[in-house]
Amino acid sequence: MPKFTIPVGALTTCCLLGLALTARAEIPTESYIEALKGNGFADLAIEYLQLEKSRPGLSKDEEMELDFEIASSMIAASDELTDLSKREGMLEEARTEFEKFTKKYPSAPPEYKGNALVEVATIDLQQGRLAIIRAQMPSNEKRAVKLAGTARDYLSKSAKDYESAEKLFKGEYDKMPVYIGRETHSDRMKRQTKTRLFEKYIEARFQAALARFYLADTYASVEMPAPDSKDKKVLEAHKKEVAKWAAEYKKLNAEAEKGFQEIFAAHRQEVVGLYAHLWIARCMADRGEYRRAMGIYEQLRDHENQSLAAFQRQVFYFYMLAFAGQKDWHQIVNQATEWLRTNVRYGREASYVGTQFELAKAYVELGQTAKETRDKNKYYLEADKLLDRLVRMPNQYQGLASRAKLRLQSLTGKTGGNENDFDALFAQANTKLDQVKDEASPEQRKAILSEVKTLLNRALAASNERTPIELINDCRLTLAYAHLRDEEVYEGAILAQALAENYPTWRGAPQAASLALTGFAWGYEDADKKRIAGFSSRPEVDADLVQKVANQILLRWPNRKEAADAMMTLGRLRYARQEYDQAAEAFDKVSPDAVNHGEALAMAGSVYWDWYKTLTLEGESADKDKKKELRDKARERLAAASAPLRELRGNQLDRQTYINDAMLGEVNFEAGDDEGALQAVMPLIALIKKDQLPADIEHQLRTGVMITALQSYIRQNKIDKTDELVELISNQEKKQGDGGGNVTLVFVRLASKLKEQIDRLRANGEQAELDKTVASFEKFLDKIAGRPDHDLQSLVYIGNSYVELGSYQKAAALLQKAIEKADPNDPEAPGFVTRARMLLARSEKEQGNYTQAIELINELMKENMNTLEIVNLRGEILESAGDHSRAIAHWKWLIKRMKSQRPKPDAYYHAMDRLLDIYLNMVPPADKDRRLKEGYKYVSFLLELDQDLPANWRSRFEKHRKNIAESLGIDLQASATK
């Protein structure tokens, strides 16, 4: 079964996701509306949907979808209202809208009717819960019994409606075919419909059991007031009524548990089974069977599916309820305090709110038993903070929290004042927000931002029709900003986007859109935030969100600063996705008058350079004219960015300016402009010498510019100029602590860069430039090889570079020195010694010293039979030595080792290629016919039966077969026809 999630609303502990949003004509804003409702901004969702409905040209299906969503959003909006009368009014308004919906669309599909039935059942469930909250209010003590009766009426009707919806969905599900294929689009749509109907059927069934649980709870959570009279008959009647309530509670609790038991029995392997098991335990705990309940809680807390974070939070809350039932107040304080701090971002969930209430109760109880006045006051103060929050915010504990606060006031002798004022709360929040300093610890910052968000939510709850909408939106925008500062990216972005969408003429709309863009881009770029904050699992969906908000800004406010920021964000998004053409276009469109024009130029230069390097990887197939165009554009943008970047930073060098100039040096070098490269990087190197670079410019960036300078000097054959740089690199390495001053790591990067350059020149056929570069590089190697501060690693890499240049005699001498230098106590030495011996074997082979080469490689094979590079080198040495018999045996041995692998590795095809090449070119005439026939069998087998044969190897083996066939006189065309 697909993921079964139960997001907990302010009243409905289990209002299942998705009941109202499937089997209807899809609108592009569906996930956006759900996000608004899920994050407490249902009022903004309604405004947005009403704007959508006013669009001309809507189809009948789209209009029906919007009508349904507006009514559904009203239910969610009721959760956000503190005033109970307003909440009840909003729910009744939603009921009226669903009644209109049913009359307006009498021919709606059955699944739609089931959805509407579920929504009406949810309205009754919430009205029942609201009646319970009223019954729990101290001011309604005399009306508690009547209000409890009202709650029961609502909840009974809710359970019946859920059961009716369950039957409807089950009936539609049973009409679907038992087996549905996967081949056609129609099949896939049927499968989706069947899955959706099954989910809705199970959800309705679960909700029916939940409604019955709350129905039972009306007999336990509402306190029957004691009679005023002391008359025995009155007291006896009251006692009987209490006993009747207890019996009714026990009966209904058992019915609810039975409903959960049936779901658990049928679906124990699915997520809904976990929730059913949890509520079975809750029923047990509410009857006082704490040991059994806590056993189940323990089992569910340790459940291996860690993706069910919301479920685990609900388990924790139920655990706290069990501790409260056993009056284990210390356990609640010990566990709940840290849990609330860790899960503060989920402060709207009933699990979080409920845990706050249980902790407040624990503080009150501990305060009563505390012996020291100081401890008593501390407990009461903490309880007061929690209860004050619960009383003022919409949640299912308002009634109980009001009663607990009244009791606390009687214990402390204090009464609360009127602090529920929009202006005062908004001002407090802004003052508190100013206290969030960059240098604060993450814990301090999170604690302050949590207070800020609480104050802002209280301010919004305190607003009314007299509060100007501009101020309300200012408060909402501040809340969105606080969410983003607290790394609650999705909540902040979705709220800011709603403000910009719904109030485009409001003075804060551009800032809201820009804030939304920041949040969505952050969520797209940061995979971890996406996992935590609920972004889509599909990058293209999140990218479309960023694009949508950016387009909105560019269209509505093209001449504002936010437009330039939007273009930069779009550019970065496309750059991250390696969509170089669109990224470059975005950065190039940033106006020269924009403050961030220098950054745009630098980013454009970086894009063009990465684009160039990507084309370079394509080798000879790359478009040379396009490469030159990209390289020239990179040079132009990077050179133009340098001055405005420095001006923007007050002529101070920062990380971005450093990277820009370092990249300009690299691009100039690539373009053959050695003087331009040195002109870009030498000022940076001067700052390195003086140790005047900002701390955030890391070691690798520092050495990168020195490598560019070294490359330029080497290519100019100014080897004497490299001494100072090598010494500077050595000192930098010494500061870094990488091997007591050796230049190994930097040299490796330099050698890699020069090898890329040499390979490119060789591929392009630029022989004169190639010879010049090889000679200069070898001269540099000669100079650096004579330094006294080398270690084993650096000697091996220099030897490797000599091998790459073809200076095998020099390579052999240096590699022998490296092997002798190895420290037997160094744990890393064996790896470098093996590398050195392998390079030495290659050098001996290239010099024609085959006996020494074979002796070296055989020793290495004994020690490293599974190292592919060594295995391949042995085959190459045997071939070069003309020992075709041993070479054939070697490659056959390697082929046999990999024959059973599926798919076969590249090394298998390489070995087969070498074997066939030997058959064609090395085998003596006396044995050639036999070997070629064997080779023809091998290659035919590969080409005809290997389904995984890569295209590049297929073309290679087809050439082998053609050549072998010609040698054997086989007519391939006739053979294929036969």
How high is the pLDDT of residue 666? 92
How high is the pLDDT of residue 304? 59
Q: Which residue has the tokens 């300078």?
A: 709
Residue, of 917 and 788, whose pLDDT is higher = 917
How high is the pLDDT of residue 7? 28
Does residue 414 contact residue 380 with C-beta atoms inside 8 Å?
Answer: no
685 φ, ψ (degrees, to nearest 5)? -65, -35
Give residue 977's pLDDT band: very low, low, confident or very high (50, 70, 90): low
Give 579-619 pLDDT, tens digit per residue.
Answer: 999 999 999 999 888 888 999 999 999 999 999 989 887 76
Mean pLDDT along residues 486-507: 87
How high is the pLDDT of residue 25? 33
Structure tokens, 4: 């079964």
773 φ, ψ (degrees, to nearest 5)? -65, -45
Give residue 16's pLDDT band: very low, low, confident or very high (50, 70, 90): very low
How high is the pLDDT of residue 167? 94
Structure tokens, 43: 């009022």
Q: Which residue has the tokens 């009687």?
A: 410
Q: Is the pLDDT of residue 734 over 70?
A: no
718 φ, ψ (degrees, to nearest 5)? -100, 65
Structure tokens, 420: 């529920």
Q: Is the pLDDT of residue 491 over 50?
A: yes
How high is the pLDDT of residue 611? 94
Lowest mean pLDDT among 213-217, 343-347, 568-572: 343-347
Give 903-917 pLDDT, tens digit per residue.
Answer: 888 999 999 999 999
Give residue 442's pLDDT band: very low, low, confident or very high (50, 70, 90): confident
How high is the pLDDT of residue 86? 84
Q: Is the pLDDT of residue 440 over 80?
A: no
Give 623-636 pLDDT, tens digit per residue.
Answer: 888 989 999 999 99
Residue percentage of the chain with pLDDT more than 90: 35
User: What secondary structure, in 3-state letters, does 508-570 show?
Assistant: CHHHHHHHHHHHHHHHHHCHHHHHHHCCCCCHHHHHHHHHHHHHHHHHHCCCCHHHHHHHHHH
Q: Is the pLDDT of residue 415 over 70?
A: no
Structure tokens, 305: 């599916």
How high is the pLDDT of residue 414? 62
Q: What share of the chain is helix, strand, coil (3-state, %, to 5)?
A: 75, 0, 25
Give 61-102 pLDDT, tens digit per residue.
Answer: 889 989 999 999 999 888 888 778 888 989 999 999 999 998
Determine the Cα–Cα distance for residues 799 and 781; give it in Å rounded to an integer.
Answer: 9
CA distances from 107 to 67, 72, 101, 583, 937 (A): 15, 20, 11, 49, 70
Question: What residues does each domain of the chain span?
Answer: 327-417, 422-577, 888-978
Q: Is the pLDDT of residue 18 over 60?
A: no
Q: Is the pLDDT of residue 202 over 90?
A: yes
CATH topology of domain 422-577: 1.25.40
How high is the pLDDT of residue 156? 95
How high is the pLDDT of residue 837? 93
Give 516-561 pLDDT, tens digit per residue.
Answer: 898 888 877 665 455 445 555 555 556 777 888 888 888 888 888 8
How high is the pLDDT of residue 521? 82
Determine the Cα–Cα distance for residues 636 and 142; give it in Å rounded to an integer.
Answer: 82
Torsion of CA 813, 818, 819, 824, to 10 degrees: 160
Closest by CA position to 629, among listed 584, 591, 572: 584
Return the number of other C-beta atoms located less than 10 Å from residue 754's C-beta: 24
User: How many CA atoms lie less than 13 Å away from 743 in the CB half-sphere?
Assistant: 27
Structure tokens, 294: 């806590």
How high is the pLDDT of residue 714? 85
Residue, of 14 and 859, whose pLDDT is higher = 859
Mean pLDDT along residues 310-333: 93
Residue, of 597 and 653, whose pLDDT is higher = 597
Closest by CA position to 104, among listed 71, 55, 57: 71
End-to-end CA distance of the chain: 54
Give 156-188 pLDDT, tens digit per residue.
Answer: 999 999 999 999 999 998 998 888 877 788 888
DSSP code per residue over 65-123: HHHHHHHHHHHHHHTT-SSHHHHHHHHHHHHHHHHHHHHH-TT--HHHHHHHHHHHHHH
For 470-479, b/e burial (b = at least 16 CB within 10 A) is eebbbbbbbb
How high is the pLDDT of residue 812? 92
Give 690-700 pLDDT, tens digit per residue.
Answer: 888 777 777 77
Does residue 680 contact residue 661 with C-beta atoms inside 8 Å?
Answer: yes
Burial of residue 922, with CB atoms counted within 10 A of its CB: 0-12 exposed, 13-18 middle, 19 or more buried: middle
How high is the pLDDT of residue 420? 58
Q: Is the pLDDT of residue 293 over 70?
A: yes
Q: Is the pLDDT of residue 8 over 50?
A: no
**C-alpha angle 647-653-656 in degrees, rounded to nearest 5:** 90
How high is the pLDDT of residue 137? 86
Residue, of 132 and 970, whose pLDDT is higher = 132
Give 740-782 pLDDT, tens digit per residue.
Answer: 444 555 666 677 777 777 877 777 778 888 888 888 888 888 8
How high is the pLDDT of residue 20? 30
Structure tokens, 862: 């004994």
Q: Is the pLDDT of residue 214 over 80?
A: yes
Does residue 496 contact residue 474 with C-beta atoms inside 8 Å?
Answer: no
Give residue 53's pLDDT band: very low, low, confident or very high (50, 70, 90): confident
Structure tokens, 461: 């709850």
CA distances from 677 to 645, 714, 909 (A): 19, 13, 43
How high is the pLDDT of residue 26? 36
Instruction: State the average pLDDT for the chain.
Output: 84
How high is the pLDDT of residue 846? 93
Give 380-400 pLDDT, tens digit per residue.
Answer: 989 988 988 888 778 888 888
Structure tokens, 316: 């924790």
How high is the pLDDT of residue 637? 95
Q: Is the pLDDT of residue 1 over 70?
A: no
Determine the Cα–Cα distance for residues 136 and 629; give it in Å rounded to an integer.
Answer: 76
Determine the Cα–Cα distance for residues 703 and 699; give it in Å rounded to an integer.
Answer: 6
Mean pLDDT along residues 894-908: 88
Closest by CA position to 102, among listed 90, 88, 119: 119
Give 655-674 pLDDT, tens digit per residue.
Answer: 888 899 999 999 999 888 99
Q: Which residues are CB-contacts of 978 (< 8 A; sequence separation ≥ 6)?
A: none
Cα 177 from chain centre: 38
Return the number of other C-beta atoms located less than 10 Å from residue 317's C-beta: 24
